[in-house]
Every structure is written in C-alpha cells, then in structure tokens.
C-alpha cells in the first residue's frame, strides 16, 4: 500500500525541452524532485529498493555521453531487467551461490 498516492502531472513536452536547453541544472533538479516524489509515494517496504534502483540508473546515466547514448543504454538496462523478470515468471531463476565465510582470527593484542 502506498504511503501517499502520487498523481504527478508533467508539464508539456516543449516546456521540459526548453527548460533542459536553457537551464540544465533546473531540469536536473526537476527530474530529481519528480523521482523523489514518486519514490516517497511507494510503500515503505518498496522505497529502499526504489532508491537503490534510482541510484543505479543515476550511475548508468552519468557514464553516458549524450541523450541518444542515454536512451540506448537505459533501453538495454530495461531489456535486461525484463528478461530477468520473464525468467523468474517462467521459473528460470538463477540460484545465488553461497558466499564462503572466512572467520577473523585475532593475531595480536589489540590493547
């Protein structure tokens, strides 16, 4: 259940293009604000996952050279996620390997 239902309305496309061209920092802040509002509207349980996903998206986008590169890269990311989702629905979930646990051994006096 959402903590605060979100009913975002975007400005007309032309206004967003104009803002992005004339004031890229304001446009970036607008995008951050919209994302934050949407994530805050999700259930508390989902917010952590959504923030992690947004952080991943921001990292991926930061490595892109231009808007076309960003679109292609994000489409590739989305396609990979959809393939994983389809696999999970089809019962083809990859089993996670267990990590080897290495105990810490005290080698000397810490005091």
Domain ranges for the chain: 11-41, 44-91
DSSP state of 108: S
Higher pLDDT, 1 or 55: 55
Task: Summarize the confidence of residues 14-18 as an average pLDDT.
Answer: 95
Tokens matching residue 76: 């590739």
pTM here is 0.66
- Predicted pLDDT at 95: 59
The distance of Cα 74 from the centroid of its chain, to the nearest Å, equals 10
The distance of Cα 85 from the centroid of its chain, to the nearest Å, equals 16
Is the pLDDT at 2 greater than 50? The verdict is no
Higher pLDDT, 85 or 76: 76
CA dihedral 66, 68, 72, 75 (to 10 degrees): 100
Cα 102 from Cα 98, distance rounded (Å): 12
Task: Summarize the confidence of residues 22-34 as an average pLDDT.
Answer: 95
Is the pLDDT at 88 greater than 50? The verdict is yes
């Amino acid at each position: 259940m959402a903590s605060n239902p979100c009913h975002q309305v975007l400005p007309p496309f032309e206004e967003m293009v104009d803002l992005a061209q004339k004031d890229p920092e304001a446009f970036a802040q607008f995008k951050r604000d919209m994302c934050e509002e949407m994530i805050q509207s999700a259930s508390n349980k989902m917010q952590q996952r959504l923030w992690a996903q947004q952080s991943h998206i921001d990292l991926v986008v930061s490595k892109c050279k231009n808007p076309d590169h960003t679109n292609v890269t994000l489409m590739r990311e989305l396609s990979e996620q959809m393939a994983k989702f389809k696999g999970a629905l089809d019962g083809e979930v990859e089993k996670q390997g267990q990590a080897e646990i290495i105990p810490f051994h005290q080698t000397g006096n810490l005091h």
